[in-house]
């Protein structure tokens, strides 16, 4: 199926995403990963990772398919220490081709430019300078990238396709997986994960903007709690 999907292009050489998504909608994650790796030129595809559970699965799948694929991490300078320590453990385990992007050299420099606790004064501005602008820099040379997003994560993601269009493509190999599927895979393959997950944090972002999730809540309910925001902005670019 992946080979057939890879050949589905229009007269301008662009993917016919309707046909690609029909071909890949029920495909296993490995097949979607292979389709993307085979379909993009070298150096034009990457994985954008916050080193959450979905990224753990994707990194493990990529080790046998494309071990040198660039892995992009956006250091907002406001991550939990546990997240940064976990990132280093994963880098060491897989020998990742890791690329870290940030908006300033340090948190002190960030606060000197934008002032302290920018997220409290202007959350949209904080998201723009801490995440969106480094993300645009990180993906400048990509034609597409993998994400760990899934349809069951939140009500805003239920219609997620295998491949999202736009000027650049976002590939979602885990779209049909459930949270239980992810964790069963992690345990079965003894994959490293952020220890904050054992303390009730289902989805982990910046420390000042992330809280544990209560029983019955969406997996991402602890992100930007009470702000009305459901996405940080990078998936809306």
Number of domains in the chain: 1
Q: Which residue has the tokens 């976002």?
A: 170
Look up residue 231 and give its two tokens: 């996405």
**Within-domain flag for 1:** no
**Within-domain flag for 90:** yes
Nearest to 19 by CA among 35, 30, 34, 33: 35
Segment 200-210 mean pLDDT: 93
**Within-domain flag for 10:** no
pLDDT at position 8 over 70: no
Q: Is the dihedral of CA 188, 192, 197, 199 positive or negative?
A: positive
Q: Check which CATH number belongs to the domain holding 91 and give it.
A: 3.40.50.620
* pTM for this prediction: 0.88
**Within-domain flag for 50:** yes
pLDDT at position 128 is 95
pLDDT at position 233 is 52
CB 194 within 8 A of CB 82: yes
Summarised one tens digit per residue, pLDDT across range 50-77 is 999 999 999 999 999 999 999 999 999 9
**Within-domain flag for 19:** no
Summarised one tens digit per residue, pLDDT across range 152-192 is 887 778 889 999 988 899 999 999 999 999 999 999 999 99
Catalytic residue among 207, 232, 234, 237: 232
CB 85 within 8 A of CB 109: no
Q: In sequence order, which residues have a C-beta less than 8 Å from that of residue 176 and are 6 or more positions away?
A: 26, 150, 151
Give helix then strand counts, H and E, for the chain: 10, 6
**Within-domain flag for 59:** yes
**Within-domain flag for 2:** no
Range of the domain at 42: 29-236
**Within-domain flag for 21:** no
**Is 232 known to be catalytic?**
yes
């Amino acid at each position: 199926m992946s080979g057939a999907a890879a050949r589905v292009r229009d007269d301008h050489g662009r993917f016919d995403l309707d046909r690609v998504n029909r071909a890949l909608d029920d495909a296993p994650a490995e097949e979607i990963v292979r389709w993307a790796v085979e379909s993009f030129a070298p150096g034009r595809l990457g994985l954008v990772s916050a080193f959450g559970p979905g990224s753990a699965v994707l990194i493990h799948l990529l080790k046998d398919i494309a071990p040198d694929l660039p892995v992009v991490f956006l250091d907002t300078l406001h991550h939990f220490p546990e997240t940064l320590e976990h990132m280093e453990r994963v880098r060491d385990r897989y020998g990742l081709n890791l690329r870290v992007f940030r908006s300033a050299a340090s948190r002190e420099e960030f606060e000197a430019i934008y002032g302290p606790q920018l997220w409290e004064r202007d959350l949209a501005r904080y998201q723009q300078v801490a995440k969106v602008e480094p993300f645009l820099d990180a993906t400048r040379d990509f034609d597409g990238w993998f994400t760990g997003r899934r349809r069951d994560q939140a009500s805003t993601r239920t219609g997620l396709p295998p491949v999202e269009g736009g000027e650049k493509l976002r590939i979602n190999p885990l779209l049909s997986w459930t949270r239980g599927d992810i964790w069963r895979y992690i345990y079965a393959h003894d994959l490293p994960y952020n220890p904050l997950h054992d303390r009730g944090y289902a989805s982990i972002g910046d420390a000042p903007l992330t809280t544990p999730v209560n029983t019955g809540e969406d997996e991402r309910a602890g992100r930007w709690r009470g702000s009305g925001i459901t996405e940080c902005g990078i998936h809306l670019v």
